[in-house]
Structure 1
Amino acid sequence: MRGGGRNLDEDDIRVRARGGSRPRTRIRPKHENARVGMVTTVDRGRYRCLVEGRQITAMKARELGRGRIVVGDRVALVGDLSGVPDTLARIVRVEERSSVLRRTADDTDPVERVIVANADRLVIVCALADPDPQPRFIDRCLVAAYDAGLEPLLCLTKADLAGPGELLDAYAALDLRSVVTDHRGDLTELRGLLAGRASVLIGSSGVGKSTLVNRLVPEAERAVGRVNPVTGRGRHTSTSAVALPLDDGWIIDTPGVRSFGLAHIAPDDVVAGFPDLDEAVQECPPGCPHTEGAEGCALDAWLADGRLAPPRVASLRRLLAGRAGDEEAVAG
């Protein structure tokens, strides 16, 4: 974990080799003629990759070992790259990632799980009603976005059922970009914000994320569920991540996630999303949680002196609370 040692992810889980396995070699082929493509879907050990305009099905080469390949990864492929049905290429290299969106299984789990690679925007989809807004879920997504270096965008749906004013006011101090939609309204503004970007869509059950994807990319045909009138929860409908082309960019619809743990994110990494508070934070003692009343926390002193904007400090502390809060159900 950050601040206490190196990060852990799935690659740190070791599996004992069975008897008879061939010894590994340190010498790997360079595959200098490999073609580079982008992983668009992952399904049971098979990877759909876009290579020079063709969709190729591939498997991971043995020499890559235990490293995980996810949607958004840029990979080098060899073998049959024709795209003809029933042909299979091999992924022999994963290119360096520009960004990684991670989660842990829960807030006590040190093992990070990579969700998407090489995205540059996280679109947090939240309904204004049916189900009610979940500010804590939004906060946790913001923490994950800041940690991954992704630009967050708040997309509010079902504006025909409730107004956005109160929720937008709660995030005004964060200077968070937002867009408001309803189930039939024009999506021109949203499309403009997504054009030319690699955007990950994430949202809690029943907020209309899959409906939104289908309206943006009709050929996607993502399954759509309904909200349970008793529990107020939706049904998990997206079962796998998929990258879909949209206006010279990509939207990546994520699968249902039962929990979105943030155990891998240190408080200082959350603070990094608030550069205007950095000078004050530098005066905090090592390991300061930056919570109200914490011993020696300079944020309290600076607030008392009128040198910080109270809404900004309150927003930071809400995000820190979201990092350590209860799990939130995440789904599509």
Structure 2
Amino acid sequence: MTWWSTDDDDDDEPEFDESDVRVRPNRRGSRPRTKVRPEHADAVTGTVLGVDRGRYSVLVDEGEADERAITAARASELRRKSVVTGDRVDLVGDVTGDEGTLARIVRVQERSTLLRRSADDTDEVERVIVANADQMLIVVAAANPEPRIRLIDRYLVAAFDAGIRPLLCMTKTDLADPAEFLANFAGLDLPVFRSRTDAMPIDEIADALVGHRTVFVGHSGVGKSTLVNALVPGADRATGHVNVVTGRGRHTSSSTVSLRIEHDGRHGWAIDTPGVRSFGLGHVDPANILGAFTDLARIAEDCPRGCTHLPDAPDCAINEAVDAGDLGETGRARLDSLQRLLETFA
């Protein structure tokens, strides 16, 4: 080690040469962490249209002259925050939408609704399907594949729980009369569209969808993607067939994506989702189901604490009102619908 001094006095304290000082390399992570995050005051807001392998398609300035779709990645500070189709997000970076550019999603705004499902009724892990939808179009075939009441019930429960208005589209009505099946839902305020394989009521359906963000759900093979393609020319959503042996449809749509519907000078959004054969409700609060039946919910205020509102519930005010004929046949049908949905959690 080299010592040097300022004079010849041997008693002076030695000093280090600059070359003797060991400098630690600037290792990654050596900077102290801070919880202060940038405010991103210059961020712009957009809506997520779809997700593909970690890249998000986001629509910015919807309806404006400079409306554009940009590609974005999720910022590192959002690594524990999910970003799904329908989310309103704040973006920074290159938001021009030019080819080859990439913006960053730095914030997810508060969601007005969130449609979820679980793998089964015992699974507490939620699968988020879409955010900020205000309608759900349930697509079910009259035949091929056969309609499943319980699956429709589950869609309805999920919609009521999320605060989303449900609609029903019955396809392939030329193959079977849907009247008996639809009677199961007579007690609900549920708009129903009937569609044939050779004629679909596109104008009627489109009129109900413009001005809304509507998530399409349905069993594989019911014609959901065919309906989307008719409503959105050029969408080119893959369609499949029903297996003649199993009676099940083949999964075609593999991702959730938002598509613009144009009708009579207005537009809305159709959010197409992959077909599913099961719809778990492990995340649902049963109390939200009764809330969807506003007339029955008012009567339920006179029920005893903890009333299940099922047919065998003692002193149930709803059952007593219906049995007394106070609500007429419509009330009985609505009670039947409510009890069938509640039995899912019994």
The structural deviation recorded for 1:22 is 8.0
Find the aligned partners of 1:295 and 1:149 in 2 and give their Cα distance.
29
The letter for the 2-side match of 1:195 is: V
Q: 1:64 to 1:303 in 2, by over 3 A?
A: same
Asked whether 1:32 is paired with 2:41, we answer yes
How many aligned positions are there?
306
Asked whether 1:189 is paired with 2:190, we answer no
Find the aligned partners of 1:243 and 1:23 in 2 and give their Cα distance.
42
The letter for the 1-side match of 2:154 is: R
> Could you tell me which residue of structure 1 aligns to residue 318 of structure 2?
299
> Could you tell me which residue of structure 2 aligns to residue 49 of structure 1?
58
Q: TM-score, normalised by structure 2?
A: 0.83
The letter for the 2-side match of 1:320 is: L
> Could you tell me which residue of structure 2 aligns to residue 265 of structure 1?
284
Choose from 69, 76, 80 the match for 1:66. Answer: 80
Comparing 279-288 and 194-203, the one that deviates more: 279-288
The structural deviation recorded for 1:20 is 6.8
Choose from 173, 177, 188 the match for 2:191. Answer: 177
Higher RCO by CA contacts (8 Å cutoff, separation 6 or greater): 1
> Could you tell me which residue of structure 2 aligns to residue 120 of structure 1?
134
> Could you tell me which residue of structure 2 aligns to residue 244 of structure 1?
259
Q: 1:22 to 1:296 in 2, by over 3 A?
A: farther
Stretches of 4+ moved more than 6 A in 1? Answer: 19-23
Alpha-carbon RMSD across the aligned residues, in angstroms, is 2.0
The structural deviation recorded for 1:305 is 3.2
The structure with the largest alpha-carbon Rg is 2
Find the aligned partners of 1:279 and 1:238 in 2 and give their Cα distance.
41
Find the aligned partners of 2:345 and 2:243 in 1 and give their Cα distance.
28
> Could you tell me which residue of structure 2 aligns to residue 310 of structure 1?
332
The letter for the 2-side match of 1:27 is: V
Asked whether the equivalents of residues 267 and 289 of structure 1 are also in contact (C-alpha less than 8 Å), the reply is no
Q: TM-score, normalised by structure 1?
A: 0.87
Find the aligned partners of 2:31 and 2:334 in 1 and give their Cα distance.
58
Asked whether the equivalents of residues 220 and 276 of structure 2 are also in contact (C-alpha less than 8 Å), the reply is no
> Could you tell me which residue of structure 1 aligns to residue 245 of structure 2?
230
**2:187 is paired with a residue of what secondary structure?**
helix
- Unaligned 5+ segments in structure 2 are 1-27, 62-66
- Unaligned 5+ segments in structure 1 are 1-18, 326-332
The structural deviation recorded for 1:256 is 3.4
Q: Deviations over 1:112-136 (max 9, x none)?
A: 2221011110000000111111111
Q: Deviations over 1:88-138 (max 9, x none)?
A: 110011111111111122101122222101111000000011111111111
Asked whether the equivalents of residues 41 and 243 of structure 1 are also in contact (C-alpha less than 8 Å), the reply is yes
The letter for the 1-side match of 2:261 is: L
Find the aligned partners of 2:230 and 2:238 in 1 and give their Cα distance.
12
Find the aligned partners of 2:58 and 2:49 in 1 and give their Cα distance.
6
The structural deviation recorded for 1:258 is 5.0
Q: Percent identity?
A: 56
Q: Deviations over 1:171-200 (max 9, x none)?
A: 121121111112331411111111121100
> Could you tell me which residue of structure 1 aligns to residue 224 of structure 2?
209
> Could you tell me which residue of structure 2 aligns to residue 319 of structure 1?
341
Q: Deviations over 1:119-170 (max 9, x none)?
A: 1100000001111111111111111111111111100111221223222322
**2:287 is paired with a residue of what secondary structure?**
helix
The structural deviation recorded for 1:30 is 1.0
Find the aligned partners of 1:258 and 1:270 in 2 and give their Cα distance.
22
